[in-house]
Amino acid sequence: MEERKWFKEMSMYQIWPRSFKDGNGDGIGDLKGVMSKLDYIKSLGVDAIWFSPLYVSPQADYGYDIADYCDINPEYGTLDEFKEVLKAAHERGMKVIMDLVINHTSDQHEWFKKSVKREEPFTDFYIWRDGKGKNGKKPPNNWMSTFPGSAWEYVPERGQYYLHLYAKEQPDLNHDNPTVREYIKKVMRFWLDMGVDGFREDVITQISKAEGLPNGFPLMPASRGMEHYNNGPHIHEYLKEYRQVLKDYDAFQVGEAPLLTPEKALTYVEGDDKELDMCIGFQHMEADCILIGWVKTPFSLKKLKKVYDKWQTMLYHKGWNANYLENHDQPRTISRYGSEKYRVESGKALAIMYSFLSGTQFVYQGQEIGMTCPYFDKYPEGTDPWAQFEDVSTFCVRDLMRKFGFSQKHILKVAHTAARDCARTPVQWTAGENAGFSEAKPWYAVNPNYTEVNVEAAEKDEGSLLHFYRKVIALRKQYKDAAVYGRFELHLKNDPHLFVYDKIADDGSKLTVVLNVSDKAVPCKKFAKYIPEGAQEILSVYDNASFAAVTKPYEGKVYYTPTK
């Protein structure tokens, strides 16, 4: 029997604070805005909030470049305001999870500034190396940053290069240094003592680098060297050390893990001495691309089902899944896996698809109303199309694609469902000015479809995706024996349009999910035998409608069969 834990049954709502809600009228989302929407968040039925970084930051990577781990960025508010939000969330029965970014800091962090000057104990807080070649002018190795370009930056004041696996403003911490690890544990305890309930840990599987920092495989155009720092030699040792802090507080821990397979995930999440409660992987987000979202392929439901089948099966009774479709790094799923033409219907089908899988459910801000990706290739004639982007990785990938000969037209078209900017447009609250996000001009452009797609309109429409998410989240809890803890059994593995699966509880009761994840008419006889006789329909994409001879676009249902 699957061990039952509070975090397994959670539905968690992710807030990317800059774009959630502006509460002080400066065009930037903030803690006052969050406070004003806590009752709305609670109304979804979620059990926790995950905050993307709120810390002091120069915003080179919008908060993932931290200059002070123990204070709030002034644009978002104050530490006292955070404490008020924390208290108010707890009073509403919601836990609060903070983003912990410890692979790197900002180059504006005091630790880094002192490391540049070789001030103890910070001299070796970061990964410094002498250059190679004549006069040491060449980087220490051939590693490439995830934001394409060299992973090394030279600092004349120190006379050495520092490693940055991401933007040059994000120097990597040296976790091989025990003092670094002690400082990180102090940061963790700072927030846990305040009452925070756990952490989502950014690219946590990259904190250990191979001894000697050898050259990476030369043909990798980006992230060259990853084989030497992803799941590095001391990763389990260091994570066990950090895990002990969490154990002292019975706190929750989910780690982001690039290029993760279920086999590798089990090395982190299996057993009594596990290092993480679950991992955030990416394989299920590659059903319309190759490894990274900018290398596009047609959406493949078969590819997606294969990934889900493997993760659900391999982690059953061994580990735990983190189930999501959108976050601050993933463009809106309706524009990728669904259909903007059938926005509500495909949004409902996708909500069903992942919500009844075993694992903790994550919902990203705006996902519940069906926000879509903006069209970056539709810009006013005579203007600079790149002026509409804000994300550092977008510009890095653009420059790399230009080197490979791609045209501006192609890059802009791909950006529609590849750029991280897609996930970061302001939440659309109303059809009023600035989508009700702010009284001032928002820091980033609002998607023009806000007059149709917004919370206010969705609240008034009983058939909206918003109300549907509330039903889904409630049913996931009501039928948790099957939905959360049940065994996954996939049917019609090779069908390109149908996603049909059972979730079977230990007592034999089960949920049966039947979905047409396409705009095609699919003969119902293809899946009819998988609907148990006497099963109770508990949820449907199309209300008050039975399956006909063929399905409607994105038609889907969930059935419950009690124990015989």
**CA 171 to CA 160: how far, in whole Å?**
13
**CA 4 to CA 188: how far, in whole Å?**
25
**CA 275 to CA 238: how far, in whole Å?**
9
pLDDT > 80? residue 469? yes
Q: What is the pLDDT of residues 232-249, one digit of tens each?
A: 999 999 999 999 999 999
Which residue shows structure tokens 């806590």?
A: 38
pLDDT > 70? residue 550? yes
pLDDT > 70? residue 34? yes
Instruction: List the single range of 40-54, 147-161, 193-207 with lowest mean pLDDT.
Output: 147-161
Residue from 365, 341, 372, 476 nearest 427 by CA: 365
**Is the CB of residue 90 less than 8 Å from the CB of residue 44?**
no
Using 50, 70 and 90 to split pLDDT, how confident is the model at 406?
A: very high
Here the tokens at position 439 are 């009284």
How confident is the model over 118-141, as a mean pLDDT? 95
Instruction: List the single range of 326-340, 376-390, 412-426 with lowest mean pLDDT.
Output: 376-390
**CA 247 to CA 373: how far, in whole Å?**
40
Choice among 65, 202, 277, 502 that is catalytic: 202
How confident is the model over 252-267, as a mean pLDDT? 96
Would you call 381 a catalytic residue per the annotation?
Answer: no
pLDDT > 70? residue 3? yes
Q: What's the angle, vertex CA 408, arms to CA 382 and CA 147, rounded to 5?
A: 120
**Is the CB of residue 326 less than 8 Å from the CB of residue 335?**
no
Sign of CA dihedral 477, 479, 483, 487: positive
pLDDT > 80? residue 14? yes
| % of the chain exceeding 70 in pLDDT | 99
Choice among 47, 65, 256, 286 that is catalytic: 256
Residue from 528, 529, 561, 563 nearest 546 by CA: 528
Would you call 202 a catalytic residue per the annotation?
Answer: yes
Using DSSP's 3-state secondary structure scheme, residue 544 falls into coil
Using DSSP's 3-state secondary structure scheme, residue 332 falls into coil
User: Which whole-number Å values give the CA distances from 293 to 192, 298, 422, in the listed order?
Assistant: 35, 12, 12
CA-based radius of gyration for the chain: 24
Using 50, 70 and 90 to split pLDDT, how confident is the model at 288?
A: very high
pLDDT of residue 207: 98
Q: What is the pLDDT of residues 474-488, one digit of tens each?
A: 999 999 999 999 999
pLDDT > 80? residue 41? yes
How confident is the model over 528-539, as a mean pLDDT? 96
pLDDT of residue 90: 98
Type of residue numbered 311? W
pLDDT of residue 111: 98
Which residue shows structure tokens 């389990």?
A: 236
How confident is the model over 256-281, as a mean pLDDT? 96
Domains of the chain listed by start with CATH number: 6-108+174-460 (3.20.20.80), 110-163 (3.90.400.10), 487-561 (2.60.40.1180)
**CA 162 to CA 179: how far, in whole Å?**
18
- pTM here? 0.96
**CA 30 to CA 525: how far, in whole Å?**
51
Using 50, 70 and 90 to split pLDDT, how confident is the model at 147?
A: confident
**CA 146 to CA 76: how far, in whole Å?**
27
Q: What is the DSSP string of 104-151?
A: B--TTSHHHHHHHTT-TTSTTSB-EE--BSGGG-B-SS--B-SSSSBS
Residue 369: CB atoms within 10 A of its CB come to 23
pLDDT of residue 400: 85
User: Which whole-number Å values give the CA distances from 312 to 262, 264, 357, in the listed order?
Assistant: 9, 14, 7
Q: What is the pLDDT of residues 148-195, one digit of tens each?
A: 789 999 999 999 999 999 999 999 999 999 999 999 999 999 999 999
**CA 224 to CA 221: how far, in whole Å?**
7
**Is the CB of residue 282 less than 8 Å from the CB of residue 260?**
yes
Residue from 229, 198, 231 nearest 212 by CA: 229
Rounded to the nearest integer, the mean pLDDT of the chain is 95
Residue from 315, 316, 331, 323 nearest 283 by CA: 323
Q: What is the pLDDT of residues 361-388, one digit of tens each?
A: 999 999 999 999 999 888 777 788 898 8
Query: Does residue 468 or residue 294 have the better pLDDT?
Result: 468
pLDDT of residue 149: 85
Helix ranges (H only) for 417-563 are 455-460, 465-478, 480-483
Here the tokens at position 493 are 């593995």
Residue 564: CB atoms within 10 A of its CB come to 8
Query: Does residue 220 or residue 289 have the better pLDDT?
Result: 289
**CA 105 to CA 202: how far, in whole Å?**
11
pLDDT of residue 320: 97
| % of the chain exceeding 90 in pLDDT | 88
Whether cis (ω within 30° of 0) applies to the bond prior to 121 is yes
**Is the CB of residue 158 less than 8 Å from the CB of residue 116?**
yes
**CA 367 to CA 200: how far, in whole Å?**
19
Helix ranges (H only) for 46-109 are 79-91
pLDDT of residue 221: 63
Using 50, 70 and 90 to split pLDDT, how confident is the model at 345?
A: very high
Q: What is the pLDDT of residues 81-103, one digit of tens each?
A: 999 999 999 999 999 999 999 99
- β-pairing, 48-51 vs 11-15, is parallel
